[in-house]
Amino acid sequence: MAIYGYCRVSTIDQDNSLEIQRERIEGETKAKGLNKVDKFFIDRGVSGGKPISDRPKGKELLGILKEGDSVIALKLDRMFRSAGDAVQQLEEFKKRKIKLFLLDMGEVTGNGIAAMVFTILSAVAQFERERIAERIAESKALAKSQGRYTGGVVPFGYDVIENEGKKFLQENPEQIKIITEINKLREDGFSYKKIAKAVNKDYGINLSHMGIKRVIGRVKL
């Protein structure tokens, strides 16, 4: 019966750094009089948005677990992506008689309060992750509505300018003229490929037929 520690650190982790996770796991096993951790499985630079089975070391850990083994992690968000992911993995551990310990909750593979709290907190963690994603999307949408550049490929017809430390998209007059010509050709029934061939030759640019499709009808962002 082996004891395994699992740690995950993303590229932006601070409070939950690798050193802190390892020290706390080792300290807790010692305090409880358990055997020394046989091996740590550490996923570095891995987002919490991935299920543990899709993480390199997480997948390796799941593959070697046997009946009677124990897994110890700092908190549920170090191991699991969502409520569904957490509950599903918990049930799998129970079936295989594998114990799971989270330092802030204790053993969660039993039938007591800890297991119930685990399910509730998993749902809360998923809700918070979804809210963060929603806030990011809202911020990007607001920035875009204000004409700010939010990253990625600069659309044809625009240049990126900087003002007071913020980046904005500004129309490129020459490229806007080309877009006007593209729209006229499309209205005349030309295919995307024929339009691309024509404007690339006439204006010395290099737009693919898919690039033509993206700019059709564009006036403003």
**What residues act catalytically?**
10
C-alpha span between 68 and 98 (Å, rounded): 5
Identify the residue whose tokens are 């998923």: 126
Other Cβ atoms less than 10 A from the Cβ of 202: the count is 10
Farthest-apart Cα atoms in the chain, separation: 81
Residue 81 CA to its chain's centroid (Å): 10
Pairing of strands 70-73, 99-102: parallel
Tokens of 25: 């796991």
C-alpha span between 60 and 152 (Å, rounded): 34
